[in-house]
Amino acid sequence: MSEKRFVGTVGRTVRDTDFRFEEINNRPEHAPNVIYILLDDMGFAALGCYGSTIHTPNIDRLANEGLRYNNFHTTAVCSATRASLLTGANHHKVGIASLVDWKSGCENGIGHLNPEYGTLAEILKEYDYSTFAVGKWHLTDAYSQVGPYDTWPLGKGFDRYYGFLNPCCDQYHPLLVQDNSYIPQPKSAKDGYHASEDLTDHAIDFIYNQKNSFPDKPFFLYLAYGATHDPHHAPQEYIDRYKGKFDEGWDVLREQWFANQKKIGIIPQDAELTDRASYVEAWDHLPKEHQKAFARHMEVYAGFLEHTDAQIGRLLDYLESIDQLDNTVIAFLSDNGASAEGGREGRVVGLRGGEITSVTNEAELAIEHLDEIGGEYTYPHYPTGWANLCNTPFQWYKIFAHEGGVKDPLIIRYPGLIKDPGSVRTQYHHVSDLTPTVLDILGVKKPSTIKGVHQQPFTGTSLKYTLEDGSAEDRKHVQYYEVLGNRGIYKDGWKAVVNHTFSDSYADDVWELYHVENDYSEKHDVAQQYPDKLQELQEEFFIEAGRNNIFPMQLGSPHASREHWWKILGPIVYPEREVNFKNIFQPYRLAGASEIKLDGVSYYASFDIERTSSDQGVLLSEGSRFGGFVFYIKDNYLHFVYNANRVKYFKVTSGVKVPEGKVNVKYLFDRKNLDDATVTLYINGQEAGQVHIDFFYMLAEGGTWLRATPHTEVSPDYEVPFEFAGTIHAVTIHSYQTGVDAKAYLEALLAEE
């Protein structure tokens, strides 16, 4: 680390001339800047330089001036890939088996990065780098505005942070964090705000200030856009550029993109196109109105990707303007394959119908709101057929261990080592290999300790050799995959893989075998022809499982049906728990120790308030305009609204007015199972109204807040923040084990009062 140490004389009065300066600097000579640019849910084929018809000139520029990899792999899901990317280790080792939110308490699911695996930011700070993180984090389960911050970006080695901690981002209304504080967005959606532009502004600003302050000091920038994860949000002008461009449908376009891939040499000439999934309808068999709606979804996605490309172009132009572009190692990648979470018909708002085999009424909803898709009041995701297109030529998707989930674009630009720009590299590699590559380029080693914590070695293998020699033999020989029971193992040109998504038992899972050295797209399952090879790879998987803390595997999959979840997990049982708050005089987000997963449990929320007849506002809200619930007083009546993805609103209003003065108001959320709940209102212990809910949202971006709704309205009955104008003396939220007679339980408590 670079510093200046004063060396003087002890025991006498000293003059300035008595001091000399001793420079201490372990920064590598001529060390380049490093940038990771990470996109979300993009898939292998979506870029122009990987065969698509989507216009991505700036990313294509990186490819033309650098290298494209066609045998690069991720973990198939966002948190796990980010963990491996930043630490250079397999994600189970790092403590993130799948999504960071789904922590199990086991060694492979701790809810944050294991400090024994330092991030690249922490490592490079030891070598006098400035470090910046911008965009999606999704590597902590701690969302409270008062921390703990040790698992936020500044706690993991970054000097500055601007972005969002959540798994996804409403591009028009993000939950922004700067350094260690939640902040409002700088301007409104109506004034032209879009998160991708804002993130790029801050990335450039961080570099601008650093280079003007310390021009000789290198930096590491981790730039992780929310694009192209849902919601697919793009400025109208970008969406309009693709009007009619996808009318031919996913079957024809998949053939075209496949032909393009061979033409530009990004896939082998003998590669074969895998079949369309059996549950995805042939485009020509769809009703014309459905075709129109589905094409619009893809127009929005393409506009979203091109808009993101334009932001990357702004960053590249700035680096070039300050003569830093060629002095920067840039790695561009996607965190996993294209997502099928939109279901067979896509969706206009919210995460519903997300099972990849489901059929919903979403097409009708899209037809009704066709011109709105991609705008501020939608939360769209395209249908599964377009995920097939974006994963051309592979099968399956994000979450799966098949190539459609794990084989993704990687582009590296660094003129200092690459002598054949524009070329394609075919060596087998994994996302855990990138951070070891950076250290290899710099000629430095991972420190033995970071912040006093002994460091474990990388599991990744440097791919620096591929930058210098396109014909070099592979140095990566074995790599496992596992997310939510979907698992696989690669070894020297062979791959065994399991689709566990639709299985109820690991014992019943069927292993497939592919000779991927000759079968690039995993089209031909040869398990029956080579049983000995399959057994060899199965045994190899168990060896890797032992080495990397894969067991116990997490249950379920977000692609599985609700009935599948219920069959596997049974009734959801939560321990009884109570949290209490006093004197809520300003909005407060429930998180950390005060958090209760309110949508998945039975509970009651009780408020001791004091008000006049003019005092109204939100008492408790969760979610956003795309799904959630809100408990509030308006026009002197008590209200509860359950917003099921803007498709259905379940509302109950008290039959009597809320009195002035000191009063207790409650609601009881009595959840019977996944699809059945009742909400009952109480005023001063007396039942005041009830509503039955039989259609549940599955998205709650926006957080859980007392006293206000800071971001977007959960109910159209009010405008944000609709902060309660009276006094909230005390709040009690009490959840109890599922299966208890909720109403009898609450009535007994009320009787005690």
**pLDDT tens, residue by residue, 294-323:** 999 999 999 999 999 999 999 999 999 999
The one-letter code for the residue type at 632 is Y
* CA distances in angstroms from 159 to 58, 112, 527, listed in the order given: 28, 19, 50
pLDDT tens digits, one per residue of 249-294: 999 999 999 999 999 999 999 999 999 998 899 999 999 999 999 9
Q: What is the mean pLDDT of residues 213-240?
A: 97
Contact 430/84 with Cβ under 8 angstroms? yes
How many CA atoms lie less than 13 Å away from 581 in the CB half-sphere? 28
For residue 591, what pLDDT band results from cuts at 50, 70 and 90?
A: confident
**Separation between Cα atoms, residue 191 and residue 189, nearest integer Å:** 5
Residue 45 reports pLDDT greater than 90: yes
Q: What is the mean pLDDT of residues 418-437?
A: 98
**Separation between Cα atoms, residue 438 and residue 118, nearest integer Å:** 14
In 3-state terms, what secondary structure has residue 654? strand
With vertex at residue 144, the alpha carbon angle to CA 139 and CA 147, rounded to the nearest 5 degrees, is 75
Q: What is the per-residue pLDDT for 743? A: 64
Q: What is the mean pLDDT of residues 82-99?
A: 97
Residue 568 reports pLDDT greater than 60: no
Q: What is the per-residue pLDDT for 11? A: 38
Q: What is the mean pLDDT of residues 382-395?
A: 97
pLDDT tens digits, one per residue of 618-667: 999 998 998 889 999 999 999 999 998 887 899 999 999 999 999 999 99
Question: What are the residue ranges of helices labelled H in 549-676?
Answer: 562-569
pLDDT tens digits, one per residue of 120-139: 999 999 999 999 999 999 99
pLDDT > 90 fraction of the chain, expressed in percent and rounded: 78
For residue 9, what pLDDT band results from cuts at 50, 70 and 90?
A: very low
For residue 5, what pLDDT band results from cuts at 50, 70 and 90?
A: very low
Q: What is the mean pLDDT of residues 213-235?
A: 97
Residue 217 reports pLDDT greater than 90: yes
Q: What is the per-residue pLDDT for 448? A: 96
Q: Which residues contact 17 (CB under 8 A, 6 or more apart)?
A: none
Q: What is the per-residue pLDDT for 7? A: 36
Q: What is the overall mean pLDDT for the chain? A: 90
pLDDT tens digits, one per residue of 331-371: 999 999 999 999 899 999 876 544 555 556 789 989 999 99
pLDDT, greater one: 680 or 7: 680
Do β-strands 33-39 and 661-673 pair in parallel, antiparallel, or remain unpaired?
unpaired
Cα dihedral across residues 196, 201, 202, 208: positive or negative: positive
Q: What is the mean pLDDT of residues 242-253?
A: 98
For residue 21, what pLDDT band results from cuts at 50, 70 and 90?
A: very low
* Alpha-carbon dihedral angle through residues 230, 235, 241, 246, given to the nearest 10 degrees: 20
Residue 496 reports pLDDT greater than 60: yes
Annotate 528-569 with DSSP letters as a single string. TT-HHHHHHHHHHHHHHHHHHT-PSPPP--TTS-HHHHHHHH
Question: Tokens for 215?
Answer: 């021009």
Do β-strands 577-582 and 686-693 pair in parallel, antiparallel, or remain unpaired?
unpaired
Distance of alpha carbon 325 from its chain centroid, rounded?
A: 28
Q: What is the per-residue pLDDT for 738? A: 58
**Separation between Cα atoms, residue 608 and residue 663, nearest integer Å:** 6
**Separation between Cα atoms, residue 556 and residue 401, nearest integer Å:** 14
Residue 397 reports pLDDT greater than 80: yes
Q: What is the mean pLDDT of residues 537-542?
A: 98
Q: What is the mean pLDDT of residues 567-583?
A: 69
Domains and CATH numbers, the chain: 33-480 (3.40.720.10), 481-569 (3.30.1120.10), 577-752 (2.60.120.200)
- Backbone torsions φ then ψ of 292, nearest 5 degrees: -65, -45
Q: What is the per-residue pLDDT for 742? A: 57
Residue 3 reports pLDDT greater than 60: no
In 3-state terms, what secondary structure has residue 211? helix
Burial of 541 from C-beta contacts in 10 A (0-12 / 13-18 / 19+): buried
Q: What is the per-residue pLDDT for 187? A: 95
